């Protein structure tokens, strides 16, 4: 009995030891990387100002520099009005100890950003390549996620060529209400156009009280060297088209996006 108990105890210690050793703890450089030019991240968040009932969708590309500062670009749809690209800058700080993987990002400059300063609390995951964010500013209930951009990532008009992605979208369209979408899209050999897969059915759209639809869809995309892009998703069966701003993240197999049309407070994500 004693031998069995000792064996179980040693086994638990071994398992716990392996678990702790495999965890990639955060450090003061988790947000910035170790290079001299800092680390770029994409941030996507959505929610609402519960005092005014205005919906708020946010997309950010920011480069974090050691010493506690960052600069980047933000796109925002607030109260159904789209703004961007807007140059932004601000400060960041890891909590103490940094190994807790938590911290704060504060946007302090950015003409038209609501509210300003705009604060996000974040937690980085154990790979140091992603995380989640919430906005603790008074009157706002907003949450989202963040994904790093690999230092080896090179973006161009052909970044998406021959790639197939799963996608989802979530938000609110004026006059319709809450909406969601999901599906698969495949880019052609140039990376400039895509179609939904399978082409005869395509994407699934839940347009609230207007109904659910499974319809063909297609579109275009243009990605720049800064990994920012624009695109158009067309849904002919609904006589609807959505202009989007796209931000390539990770190693080029992921992208964050926001609809850039007034009246449509919608963000989304796709993954290869």
Domains, the chain, ordered by start: 39-148 (2.40.128), 164-271 (2.40.128.120)
- 272 residues of the chain, pLDDT tens digit each: 444 444 444 343 333 444 444 456 789 899 998 878 899 999 999 999 989 999 999 999 999 999 999 999 999 999 999 999 999 999 999 999 999 999 999 999 999 899 999 999 999 998 889 999 999 998 999 999 999 999 889 999 999 999 999 999 999 999 888 889 999 999 999 999 999 888 767 888 888 777 888 888 899 999 999 999 999 999 887 788 899 999 999 999 999 999 999 999 999 999 99
| Rounded distance between C-alpha atoms, residue 63 and residue 250, angstroms | 14
Q: Which of 208, 34, 56, 223 is nearest to 139 (CA)?
A: 56
């Amino acid at each position: 009995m004693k031998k069995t108990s000792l064996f179980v105890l040693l086994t638990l210690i071994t398992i716990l030891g392996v678990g702790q050793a495999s965890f990639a703890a955060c450090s003061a450089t988790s947000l910035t990387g170790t290079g001299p030019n800092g680390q770029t991240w994409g941030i996507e968040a959505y929610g609402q100002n519960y005092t005014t009932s205005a919906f708020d969708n946010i997309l950010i590309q920011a480069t974090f520099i050691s010493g506690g500062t960052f600069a980047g670009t933000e796109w925002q749809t607030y109260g159904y009005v789209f703004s961007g690209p807007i140059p932004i800058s601000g400060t960041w700080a890891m909590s103490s100890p940094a190994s807790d993987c938590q911290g704060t990002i504060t946007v302090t400059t950015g003409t038209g950003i609501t509210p300003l300063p705009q604060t996000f609390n974040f937690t980085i995951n154990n790979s140091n390549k992603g995380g989640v964010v919430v906005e603790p500013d008074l009157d706002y209930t907003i949450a989202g996620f963040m994904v790093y951009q690999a230092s080896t990532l090179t973006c161009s008009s052909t970044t998406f060529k021959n790639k197939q992605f799963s996608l989802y979208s979530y938000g609110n369209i004026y006059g319709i209400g809450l909406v969601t979408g999901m599906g698969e899209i495949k880019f052609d050999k140039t990376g400039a156009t895509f179609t939904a897969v399978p082409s005869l059915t395509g994407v699934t759209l839940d347009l609230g009280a207007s109904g659910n639809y499974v319809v063909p869809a297609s579109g275009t995309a243009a990605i720049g060297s800064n990994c920012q892009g624009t695109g158009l998703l067309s849904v002919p069966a609904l006589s609807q088209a959505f202009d989007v701003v796209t931000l390539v993240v990770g190693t080029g197999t992921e992208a964050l996006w926001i609809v850039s049309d007034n009246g449509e407070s919608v963000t989304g994500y796709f993954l290869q």
